[in-house]
Amino acid sequence: MVIFPNCKINLGLHITGKRPDGFHELETVFYPVQLKDILEVVTSTTQHFQSTGLDIPGNTETNLCLKAYHLLKQDFPDLPSVHMHLHKLIPMGAGLGGGSADGAFALRLLNEKYKLNITNQQLIEYAAKLGSDCPFFIMNTACYATGRGEKLNPIQLDLSNYHFVLVNPGIHVNTKWAFEQITPTPSRKNLVSILEQPIEEWPNHLFNDFEAPISKAYPEIEHIKTLLYQQGASYAAMSGSGSTVFGIFKTRPSNNIHSAFNGSVFITA
């Protein structure tokens, strides 16, 4: 069975407090974007994980797809051994949640393939054990997120008539360092109310707290954002803690847009 984990962008991102457990309180809106990985799972006599496409750094055993399998195996001991093949297309460490998507979609695929009859709410609870962003990919619809990002409320936001350009400059931003650059402050204005305004108003009101300090350290981020506006984006911002910058366009940009940027450029419908 094959499934296609998609990525996400953050529409606004505010760090509102520091928690006793060391994590941060945040406020953001997650929005799914159709740049996708490919995950295949087949029953096997031995447990095996294989990846192709973009290189995945680190130990294979820490991959969230495998962690998802072992998490379910604890509660479903009859779950057979599987061969997992992940073809990686979503850049990693890029603010797009690609790894989180892979883990969450692995839960979804295993549940469907082996008829485990796990409810959506239970899948969300399993996903939360994999990582803060993972529950979003079970719902996979526009959500207002608080807490560590795991408290999700679906919202009415439809950008299906727009086109997204994602530009990944290949800069690795250390997440711990990124959080150290932020002084948590209470939310200034509710993100959902901002998103209810015309998209032309978003540049004046919709901000990512990480963007200013990261752009100061990596000026290419701001340069990409400027170029996206010059190319006709209605709104552009950095996603998550970077380094991917996205632009939202009313009309599909020409493929010639690739020549305007240094880095990987993805255009999605």
Sheet with strand 6-18: strands edge to edge: 6-18, 24-36, 143-146, 151-154
Task: State the catalytic residue, choosing from 8, 36, 67, 225.
Answer: 8
Distance (Å, rounded) from C-alpha 227 to C-alpha 122? 43
Q: Is 262 left (phi over 0), alpha (psi -120 to 50) or beta?
A: beta
CA nearest neighbour of 210 among 172, 240, 254:
240
Task: State the catalytic residue, choosing from 36, 37, 102, 133.
Answer: 133
Cα distances from 102 to residues 1, 66, 158, 254, in angstroms, run: 14, 10, 24, 30
Is 55 known to be catalytic? no
Distance (Å, rounded) from C-alpha 141 to C-alpha 86? 23
E strand or H helix at 138:
helix 134-139
Identify the DSSP state of 64: H
CB 56 within 8 A of CB 8: no
Is 133 known to be catalytic? yes
Catalytic residues: 8, 133
